[in-house]
Chain A
Amino acid sequence: MLEPARSEAGTARLAPIALSLLIVAAVTALLFVAGPLLDLDHAAFGYLIPVIIAATRWGVMPAIVSGLAGLAASAFFFYPPIYDIRVYNPAHIADLILFVVVAVVTGQLANRVREHVKAARQREEEMKALYFFSRRLAVASSPADIHAAIQDHVSTITGCRVALFAAGVGHSPPQASPQWPHMPDAIQLAIVDLLDGRSDGHEAPLLDRKTGASWLIRTLSQRNALVAIEAIELGRVSRQSIDAIRRRVDAALAEATATLERIDVAHALGEARVRSEAEMLREALIGSVSHELRTPLASILGSTSVLAQAPGVVQDARLASLVDVIRSETERLNNDIRNLLDASRISSAGVQAHLAWVEPPDIVNAALERMRRGLEAHRIDARLAEDLPLVRVDAVLVEQALSQIIDNAAKYSPPGTTIAIAARAVDATVEIAVSDQGPGLTAEEHPQVFERFYRGPRHRTAVKGSGLGLWIAHAFIVASGGQLQVASKGAGQGTTLTVSLPAPAPTHGNAPEYSDE
């Protein structure tokens, strides 16, 4: 498997030399044809062309080969005696010496330019890799992300395959690393020893006898804390070249370590760890809250409803009003918990919509019915156009969204004002607009209303709420294939939220049953 690679490398070295010789041959042919016509006296200088080309493109070795070939060809073809390598004329000898000097100088100059270009290009690549690396670190949401980023980065800059093992409590054993199924046992042992602090590292490369591949084991630490261990596969290399490779890899690693130091990987790791733990805790909390709180709430609300019917309570207005307090506050708690659950459902699993044909007024009526108690202080003006087309949505999701929107309108507009609900057909959609006469939206508030936990700074203290309602509504409507838009003429001028729902033309594949007989 390694043999072809080596011969490929050989071809890569030989190709420029062959090409240089080819150019020399071409120049020779050209001079040979043009020579008699132009009466060339100093033909040797024509060979500066292949020398410069070889030096700029392929480096020193091909340039030397072209120079020597040019020297030989001019001696053989153009300086008398022709077709003889020997040259007797002192002027011609001076010519050839001058050619060699000029060839060496231009060759070196051209080569230096080439090296500069190469270095610049490499720097650019490194910058790119570095930029890419730091961007990955910035968005990493878990230590595993960061370790993967380091692994890829080191792999890029060393040009070798790299396996990275995170240090820390409860580190996973190397064989568990999925991207590295066939790591030699000796290397794994060395890594485990390092991770467990039984050894301090291995300066020299380790040789795996089975495959003949050499490995470098390197530690990556920051502020004296071990961050990770890298196993770098150098491949099958000869004893002579291994030192050179090791130096190159170590230099690249030193660079990487400096980079890590600079962008404070330890800190990023800590942050990512906290973020992912917080996220898990949050999900678990919301999950258990849902069950643990909702069950007693169902008992409280149910018991309250029985109490409200009990003769002793019905006959006593004070008791009845207390029962009503329990009921309404429990309902509010229930709504808050429902919102939390919906929010976690949206952010964790996403929302699955079950699309079906629905009468738009059915959705509006269900939302109004659910919100009935909260709307007692407002006038509701529902204008639903007759003969609206059926919409194809998840009715339950859209109803919940609309309930949130109506609830929001009621919460933010003063008692006694009107909440207008209008539904009309627009192209292949049905638009349901909910308008209130509340405080409206300022230009700054406008783009933020659908953001999670956003609460307008003007009402944060005056109105209770979690800032989840419109965010949930938006997510539910989008999941149903609809759109939610907000419009306000400005502060104090009310807000209109418009839900547009898809109303595609029905496919009357079931047309026979459509008839009324």
Chain B
Amino acid sequence: MQMLFLALAAIALISGVLVVFQTHPLRSALWLIVNFFAVAGIYLLAHAEFIAAIQIIVYAGAIMVLFLFVIMLLNLRRPEEETEPGYKLGQKLTAVALAALTAVVLVYGFFRAKIPLAKETAVSVGNTESIAKSLFTDYLLPFEVTSVLLLVAIVGAVILSKSRLK
């Protein structure tokens, strides 16, 4: 179990690094799909089967297909001239230092956190039934608000892609 976790974590981290440092966005997108699959495997290890399935269907399926569509839509002309303007070395070092600071703050927060959650006694956490029960009872209002959010996103995306920016 632990070996499986470490292997999946290594895949996730390596593919994450490749997402950041690939020159072509298409390759970044493909490595991001690998990353999503590895994280979905880790969700399975953490007894979140439903979320793992959703991760593969929604993220690796729908969202990444959308990304690939847009990349292929935009970068079709002059692919060889499209070189990304680079940052100076100092700027890159500052960015890495800021990210390291973020990580340090997060680790500090995690290890100092006193979490007052009581241990609940859900027998089968993670199956679709318990998530559905939580979604339709305790979180019913957020669930409905989510549908409004998706409607707003649909309308926004349609309007943005219909009219040209003036």
Do they bind each other?
A: no
